[in-house]
Structure formats: structure tokens, C-alpha cells
Amino acid sequence: MFRNNPVLMQLKNQLYNNKPQVEGIVKSTSKGFGFLRVNSKTTYFIPPKNMKQVINGDRIIGSIEKINNREIVFPKKLIEPFLKKFIGSIHKYKNSIYIQSRYPYIQNIMFHKYSTTIKRSWKNGDWVTAELKQHGLRDKNNCFSIKITGFISEKKNPLSPWHVILSKYNLEKKSPKVDFLNVFPKHISDNNRIDLTNLDFITIDNNHTQDIDDATYIEETNSDHLILTVAIADPTEYISVNTEIDNIAKKRVFTNYLPGLNISMLPKEFSENICSLKPFAKRPVLACKIIIDGDGTIITKQTKFFLAWIKSQSKLSYDDVSDWLEKSGTWKPFNKRIEKQIFLLNKIYIIRNNWRKKHAILFQNYPEYTFHLSKKWEILDISVDKKRIAHRMIEESMISANICAADFLDKQLGFGLYHAHSGFNYFNIKNVVKFLKKYNILYTSEELMTISGFCRLKRSLDILSNEYVNYRIYKFQSFGEICTFPKPHFSLGLSSYATWTSPIRKYSDMINHRLIKSVIKGCKNISPPDHTVISHIVKRKRKTRMAVRKIEEWLYINFFHSINYNEKNYYAYIIDVSRRGMSARLLKNGAFIFIPVTYIHNINHEIICKPESGIIYIKNKIHYKISDNILVRLLSINYITKKITATLVK
């Protein structure tokens, strides 16, 4: 008789509405229960039964009830769901299909209500993309429902980890393909192209490189000058603006170099065949003739950009050329003409390197790590590699060519795509001056805000040779940027810098190619690059870096899983300090590790970690700081979060 009594129903609603309510973020645990985090100091317990209505990260409103003298929150209203679009794997049980999310903190949720337009016989372990259609708090039965929007990879595919990570960042999993019968021009006009096919152009790359985009030729003059001609593959001769291939490249922005897998920006038929500067193949190029005096100065007034044909006379490898110059190994140039080109290229490197030591800034030669994979993409080993002499020779030539491109675009158009770096943030400059003063390095704020002052500081730091100071100064610096008008590049010590030497690998270089060619051809009403393109380039660059980092994390986990990682000690250097401990990188293979405070010093009140200075104090004395080398032993690997925990070996 009381079930549908309107008076009783009204009383219940009043009681419900009178309960205190709070808004916060749901935090789940591996034990089924969870918490509602209202702020940094206030959290409320959520029972396991009610956690089935929500997902870790949801922003909700909950009502507070006091049960057994404990305040408990019951989810009532969804403000914003955490899970919208996600990646998951298929699990088949009897005649039912479940989808499990890949997110570490919601892997305990199995979605069984789903819809899809994909026609496929689902297999156990298939990776898919999905989106949340109905949230548990908005369903009368507290059920979640999703829609499977795409198929990524089968579980048995050895490349599935790469494909899953690339899908997470909305990056392509394969190189593009097009119908060449419709897009490839049958003939390229020889008009306005200078024939340089009789000159001894050479290319130097890795042994496996197929997308060869730069070649060099050098000659000496009687006046102690060197003439460097940099010839760059010219894909824009084949690819017009807003065509199918151009739009593909514009979307992809870069050739994506991943461990064990390269995904090209252009169709491989273009990047590795039609445009590639293969030996003895006649290719159209955009070339730059650079005059360099005996001191290494580029005589920019005599720089000339022009269209040409070349025929590379030799495809050389970095290792072979480096071995030969270092008088090791058995390789030697095929003839005296190639030998002369290598010697002249080395000569340019030496004089340009010396010029940059005095007038600009040199690149730091940080180690790079190479992942060695089997044919089945299994991790075999990880090696540490440093740039050798042949790498630096080519790098120096390309830097010279990019300096010339920036100067050309500035004088001819006043716009282009420039790489810029403003040095120190205006709001940080006083802190920089104050920090340097502790090491008796005296500069004013005004000095450090100029390129010349910034360069002098970098040279001062090279003399000081203190890695901690270098790390701290680096933290004070602003981020690099891409802009459409010339701005200084402080970290190179140059007044402007515009890259154009990798157009079959970078869309930004294709844009500068088109601008330079427009000037050469005498075009009128040339427009500057669209700012939306710059925004897209920046976003794609960030996504690509994150994807590479995630793939490397996965490979590191598998590598250590294959060896007895906790039976060995490793040298590492500290890269960051937080309140919870310190992060470091292993010198031998580049893996990132974390050392919690409890494994640094076991008496909690005696240790102080200061992230702002990158220093760890024990008993009020400095014990560890960023850049220090330490000896560690790996303790555990979290296969879900891909985090490696270590302890100090004292």
C-alpha cells in the first residue's frame, strides 16, 4: 500500500535532495573500490559496487552519506566522461564478445554492449578503435555501451604494438599509395635546368637508406675559396599544390622513422625511386652554389639558387667514409675523383666548424640509441651510437645550405618557413643571471637577450664544462618555434634559419622549395605559408615524438624481460628530480628509469628533493643533482604502465 504512495515518494526525494553533494574526479584502484578526488586535500571513498557505474578520470557529482562513521560518496550525475575515443582489444568468451580498454587504469572494465558497421569475424586479441556511446551513469541499468569504429591489427601480427601506438596518436600505419598512371608526369621539361650531370656529385647516407635527398659537389678556386654545390631532390617538379599526393604529404608532414619501421611521407615510389638521388640516375634538383672563404665565412652575396639536372657518381655510407678518413677498415673510394670530393667535404667541415665555434654555436654530440630487431620485429639488442666524422661533414654542409636559404627567402620575399629560437624567456632572464652569478659567470639580462651575448654564454659554459650548469641553463630556455618571417635562432647562434634540404621527408621543406622556385621562375604575387599549416606541423611533430617514445618504452620493456635485468648493475645519469624521487637514463642503452625516494635514502625526514633546482639533499647536504652519474640496479618493470623502477647501488 505504501509502494506508490505520492506522499512517501515526495519525502524520499526531499531526503535525497538534502544530502550534501560534491563534484570531483574519479580515481580507481586495482582492488575494485575507488575514490572521488575533490581537491589535493579532500577525497571520498566509493564502494566497489558503485565504481561499476563510473570510469577512472570521470568528472562526476556524488552524494555524501555517512556509514559506520565514514563519509562515502555515491555517484549520481556525470559532468564529463574521461573515456570518449579509445583503443581496446577483443575478448571472446563462449558466444559473447567483450572489448577491454587499453588505458592502464580502466583495464578492469569489459564492455559487452557494442555496435559497429565493420564487417569482420572478430578474433580473440584483435585491436580496435572505439568510442563511448552510453555512460553507465546515464543508463537506467548502469550499463556502458560503445561503438567499434575501426580495426587496427590482429594479435598475432608482430607489428601490432607499433600499429596500436600509432593509432593512439592518430598517425598512419603504412606508407601512402597512389595510382601513378594518373599522377606521374610523362615528361619534365629541360627548360631552365642547368645540366650538371658531368660533375662528380656524391651522396653519403646510411647503408640502408633509399630515400636519398641530398648530394654535394665541391671545387677549389685559386683564391683559397671553396665552392660547395648542394643539390636537393626536387619532388615539387612532380607534385603540384593541392593534388592528391600533395594533400597526403601535407597531412603526414614527416617521414616517420620508428625503431624497425619507416613510414614515408610520400609514396615510396616517389621517395625511394623517382625522386631519390640514386647513383648514375639523372635527376632534377634544386641546387644552391655556396662560396666559402678560407676562414669559413659564407659569402652570401655570391650565393646562387638554381634548377639543375645531376647524376650522382657514388652512393657512399657514413661508416665507410668515416673508417677511411680515420684510417681504419678496408673500404676505399672507387676512384681519385670520389677521393677528392671526400677530402674537400672534410675540409669544408673543418673550416665551417671552426667558424661556428667563433661566431655561432655548435651542436652537442649527444649519443643516439639504435634498436636492433629481428625479421620478426623481436628486440635483439640496443647499441649506443655517436655521430662520426662523415655524419658531421654532411650535417655541416646542410646547415650552410639552410643558412643560405634563410638569407635568400628573407631578401627575396621577406617570408618563408623559418625555424626560430628566442633564447631565454623574458620572465626567466633575471633567474638566469642570478643562477650564473653563483658560478662567477657574469652577464646582464640585456646581454643574454641578444644572439651575440647568448653565444658568448654558451662558449663560457663549454669552457666551464659543468654539466649541472648546462642542464639548469637548458631548463631556463624557451622552446623552438616555426614562423613565417625571419627570426633569430639563438641555439644555433644564427640571425635566421630555414630548412629546405629534406623535401621528400619533410613537408615544411617542400613549402620552402616552392617558394625558392617561385622566385627563380620570376612568379608574381607569391603568397606566404598559411598559419594553419604551421599549427598542423607543430601538432604532428609532437604526436610523432610521443609515438616514438611509447614504442621505445615498449621495446625497452621487452628487452629487459628477455634478460636477467635485476642481476646486473648499470651506470646512469640523473635527468630530473621530483618530490617522489629522481628520473635517470641508463648510459648503456638509453632506457629511462625512476628511483623512488625510499630507494635513495630510507629515513624520510632526512631527505629533501628540490625539483626547482634539480638537487637532492640528505641531512642538509647535497648528495645528488641533475647530470650526476650514478650506479643503479633495476628492481621491477610495470608491464601496464611501461615504467622501470630502480634502486641506487652504494
d(CA 632, CA 598): 14
- Options 58, 126, 213, 234, the catalytic residue: 213
| CA distance readout (Å), 528 to 28, 34, 239, 375 | 50, 53, 19, 45
| Region at 109 (left for phi over 0; alpha for psi -120 to 50; beta for the rest) | beta
450 three-state secondary structure: coil
Name the residue type at position 109.
I
d(CA 440, CA 455): 17
Active site residue 211: yes
List C-alpha distances in Å: 391 to 316, 349, 385, 398.
12, 10, 12, 11
Q: What are phi and psi of 463, to 5 degrees?
A: -70, -40
Q: How many CB atoms lie within 10 A of CB 241?
A: 11
Phi, psi (deg, nearest 5) at residue 324: -65, -45
8-state DSSP, 489: B
Q: Is 318 a catalytic residue?
A: yes
Position of cell 659567470?
441
Residue 246 annotated among the catalytic residues of the structure: no
Annotated catalytic residue within 205, 234, 323, 509: 205
Annotated catalytic residue: which of 505, 507, 514, 624? 505
- Identify the three-state secondary structure at position 92: strand
**Closest by alpha carbon to 401, among 534, 255, 541, 286?**
286
Q: Distance (Å, rounded) from C-alpha 312 to C-alpha 315? A: 7
Q: Taking every pair of C-alpha atoms in the chain, what is the biggest distance, in angstroms?
A: 113
Distance between CA 416 and CA 508 in Å, rounded?
9
Beta bridge partners of residue 92, listed in sequence order: 97
Residue found by looking up cell 559506520 in the block: 68
Asked if residues 46 and 36 have their Cβ atoms less than 8 Å apart, the reply is yes
From the list 44, 318, 418, 565, the catalytic residue is 318
State phi, psi for 182 to the nearest 5 degrees: -95, -20
- Assess contact for 404 and 419: CB atoms under 8 A: no
The one-letter amino acid code at 389 reads: I
Name the active-site residue from 214, 234, 323, 509: 214
d(CA 183, CA 239): 8
To the query of whether residue 505 is one of the catalytic residues in this protein, the response is yes
From the candidates 58, 126, 200, 211, which is the catalytic residue? 211
User: Which active-site residues does the annotation give?
Assistant: 205, 211, 213-214, 318, 505
